Amino acid sequence: MQNNLPYIDILIFGIIAVFLIYRLKNILGTKTGFEKSNINEKTQDKQFNNVVSLKSEKNDLNNKELNDILNVDPNFNINDFLSGSKNFFKMVLESFVSGNLENIKDFIKPSVLKSFKTAIDERNSDQETLIIDLKSIKENKITKAKTTKSSIKLNVIFETFQVRALLDKNDKIIDGDNENEILVKDEWVFERKVNDNNPNWTLIETKSN
């Protein structure tokens, strides 16, 4: 996939949105906690839920959180960050479904990448086919920020409508529904080291219903 997709600059604060199409590799760092992501449902008895269960968070950053970020990074722009995170979210889903993580591996924490690979290996071993068709993104927002002298962590919520199904080796549906959309809610945590010369972000955790 790495050879087929252009590099896209994601998540660099203050970057112009058009660069997201061309320079991905220069933006993200390298998520923890994809062990709990619902794209790895096989480790959770292969259950796809239609009910959003994550606790509701506040809609946006409060003034203190935003000021704390700007004190560390004056170029931070919420809209640019969310635009980049949305593109990255789509890329992760596509890569996981295809089973090819080459295009995203440099932007994901090793423990998370290992979790992805394990889920893909299990799927391939059972000759199963995963379908995740992202229909639309209902909401994409930053719900929490934690800033220190050395790092910035941002919690991002993705509420999306997806068609999700798991097929066995005979292409029979063993979980999910390949026709009806469901609402899926994911929470991802991104981190960037402030004092690091590397401007990239790292996806360090995910949670989902």
Per-residue pLDDT in tens (0 to 9) along the chain, 209 residues = 444 444 444 444 334 333 333 333 333 332 333 334 444 444 344 444 433 333 434 446 888 899 999 998 888 889 889 999 999 999 999 999 999 999 998 888 998 889 989 999 999 999 999 999 999 999 999 999 999 988 999 999 999 999 999 999 999 999 999 999 999 999 999 999 887 777 778 899 888 76
Instruction: Give the integer Cα–Cα distance in Å for 37 and 128.
Output: 19
- Burial per residue of 47-86, b for 16 or more beta-carbon CB atoms within 10 angstroms, e otherwise: ebeeeeeeeeeeeebeeebbebbeebbeebbeebbbbbbb
What is the Cα–Cα distance from 204 to 202, expressed in whole angstroms?
A: 6
CA atoms within 13 A on the CB side of 186: 31
DSSP structural state of residue 152: E
H helices within the chain, ranges in order?
Answer: 63-72, 78-98, 110-125
Which residue, chain included where needed, has tokens 């660069």?
Answer: 19
**Residue 87, pLDDT score:** 94
Instruction: Determine the length of the chain.
Output: 209
Which amino acid would we find at residue 101?
L
Q: What is the pLDDT of residue 86?
A: 94
Task: Report the pLDDT value the prediction gives residue 152, as an integer from 0 to 100.
Answer: 93
Terminal CA-CA length for the chain:
28
Starting at the edge strand that comes first in sequence, how are the strands of the sheet with 173-193 ordered? Answer: 129-147, 151-167, 173-193, 202-208
Instruction: Please give the CATH number for the structural domain made up of 17-208.
Output: 3.10.450.240
Looking at residue 55, what is its pLDDT? Answer: 41
Structure tokens at 103: 């295009």
pTM of the model: 0.71
pLDDT score at 194: 85
**Taking a C-beta distance cutoff of 8 angstroms, is the pair 188, 158 a contact?**
yes
pLDDT of residue 206: 81
Rg (CA), the chain: 17
Q: What is the mean pLDDT of the chain?
A: 77
Quote the pLDDT of residue 11: 42
Residue 48 has what DSSP assignment?
A: P
Residues 151/191, Cβ–Cβ less than 8 Å: yes
How much is the pLDDT for 209? 66
Scanning the structure block, which residue is given the tokens 């997709």?
5
What is the CB neighbour count within 10 angstroms for residue 179? 8
